[in-house]
């Protein structure tokens, strides 16, 4: 949903009283996009309180434009994700827009939020995403049958070297993928907040989100909210540079920003065939 320009869209919030005033203006817009089957008024009230809490914990949000704050809140209401730090489903994240030379707020779905929306489709029995370390026992194979076996070391797990995501469908099918630390760092390099915010505060949660986001393109779930949340994640990336990973390539494909790049310049896993066999049992 796009916001009507009936307020000082480009002006900074500056103070919490402006947050309250904005919510008074846009409560109806939030109620209109809230998921069916919930108390839309309660959703709007909770989002208002959580936004006020967020501006207290992250004062830089008060330097963001009013439009970006409210668009982020409406995005949260649209997909039905909670923006509280305790639940970890999504977050309001301030970032500096170099082109516009101003701070803006971004709605950022996190791994836990994407996983909940996927589960709510009713088509998934189990979802897991984990960090793999040097001292863990980890086996990942692809082919006619996908196989993942992970046993975390009970004492010193060593250095984090990658992450995997696995989905087991209710029909018995399985889909999984693995990204090395190097692959994840290439995705991180595309982030508008690669050196701050979630990549610093919740680094390993971002690893999990990155690998699950990579897997999500193979999940043909009957959930509009899940797919909308994945699309919203596109906004986290600066796609001006040539694609370096399968995730970045997928983002560019859908936004039609791909550039011609020699296969020799790409990491090995990106040059693999895109016609992978689907193991979701469909």
CA proximity to 92, closest of 78, 111, 71: 71
For residue 75, what are the contacts with CB-CB under 8 A and spacing of at least 6? 107, 232
Per-residue pLDDT for 267 more than 50? no
Q: Place 193 in a pLDDT band, splitting at 50, 70 and 90.
A: confident
Q: What is the pLDDT of residue 24?
A: 83
Q: What is the pLDDT of residue 124?
A: 94
Mapped onto helix, strand or coil, the DSSP state of residue 130 is: strand
DSSP state of 194: T
The residues that bridge with 137 in the sheet, in sequence order, are 151
Distance CA 209, CA 191 (A): 13
Indicate left, alpha or beta for 88 from its phi (over 0: left) and psi (-120 to 50: alpha): left
Tell me how crowded residue 65 is: count the other CB atoms within 10 A of its CB.
Answer: 20
Q: Place 115 in a pLDDT band, splitting at 50, 70 and 90.
A: very high
Contact 69, 23 (CB under 8 A): no
Q: What is the pLDDT of residue 235?
A: 82
Q: What is the pLDDT of residue 203?
A: 94
Q: What is the pLDDT of residue 40?
A: 87
Q: Place 259 in a pLDDT band, splitting at 50, 70 and 90.
A: very low
Question: What's the chain's average pLDDT?
Answer: 82
Whole-number percent of the chain with pLDDT over 70:
79
Residues 197-225 have a mean pLDDT of 91
Q: Where are the domains of the chain?
A: 16-109, 112-271
For helices 111-119 and 203-216, the axis angle rounded to 10 degrees is 40
Q: What is the pLDDT of residue 89?
A: 95
Per-residue pLDDT for 139 more than 60? yes
Per-residue pLDDT for 279 more than 70? no
Distance CA 9, CA 65 (A): 6
Greater confidence, 122 or 240? 122
Greater confidence, 250 or 55? 55
Per-residue pLDDT for 275 more than 50? no
Distance CA 72, CA 119 (A): 23
Residues 69-95 have a mean pLDDT of 93
**Exposed, middle or buried, 118 (CB in 10 Å: 0-12/13-18/19+)?**
buried
Per-residue pLDDT for 12 more than 50? yes
For residue 151, what are the contacts with CB-CB under 8 A and spacing of at least 6? 136, 137, 138
Q: Place 140 in a pLDDT band, splitting at 50, 70 and 90.
A: very high
Distance CA 107, CA 115 (A): 16
Greater confidence, 243 or 99? 99
Tokens representing 279? 């193991």
Residues 60-83 have a mean pLDDT of 93
pLDDT digits (tens, 9 = 90+) for 18-27: 778 888 888 8
Per-residue pLDDT for 54 more than 60? yes
Mapped onto helix, strand or coil, the DSSP state of residue 145 is: coil
Tell me how crowded residue 95 is: count the other CB atoms within 10 A of its CB.
Answer: 20
């Amino acid at each position: 949903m796009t916001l009507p320009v009936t307020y000082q869209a480009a002006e900074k919030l500056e103070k919490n009283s402006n947050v309250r005033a904005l919510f008074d203006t846009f409560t109806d817009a939030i109620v209109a996009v809230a998921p069916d089957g919930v108390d839309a008024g309660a959703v709007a009230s909770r989002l208002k309180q959580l936004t006020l809490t967020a501006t207290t914990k992250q004062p830089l949000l008060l330097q963001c434009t009013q439009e970006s704050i409210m668009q982020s809140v409406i995005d949260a209401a649209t997909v039905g994700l909670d923006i509280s730090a305790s639940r970890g489903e999504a977050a309001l994240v301030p970032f500096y827009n170099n082109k516009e030379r101003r701070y803006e707020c971004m709605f950022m779905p996190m791994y836990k939020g994407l996983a909940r929306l996927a589960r709510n489709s009713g088509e998934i029995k189990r979802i897991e995403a984990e960090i793999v370390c040097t001292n863990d026992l980890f086996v990942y194979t692809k082919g006619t049958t996908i196989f993942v076996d992970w046993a975390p070391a009970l004492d010193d797990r060593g250095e984090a070297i990658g992450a995997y995501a696995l989905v087991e469908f209710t029909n018995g099918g399985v889909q999984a993928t693995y990204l090395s630390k190097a692959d994840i760092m290439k995705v991180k390099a595309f982030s508008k907040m690669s050196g701050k915010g979630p990549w610093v505060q919740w680094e390993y949660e971002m690893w999990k989100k990155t690998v699950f986001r990579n897997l999500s393109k193979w999940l043909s779930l009957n959930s509009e909210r899940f797919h909308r949340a994945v699309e919203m994640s596109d906004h986290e990336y600066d796609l001006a540079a040539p694609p370096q990973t399968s995730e970045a390539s997928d983002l560019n494909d859908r936004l039609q920003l791909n550039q011609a790049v020699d296969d020799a310049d790409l990491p090995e896993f990106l040059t693999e065939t895109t016609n992978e066999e689907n193991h979701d049992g469909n």
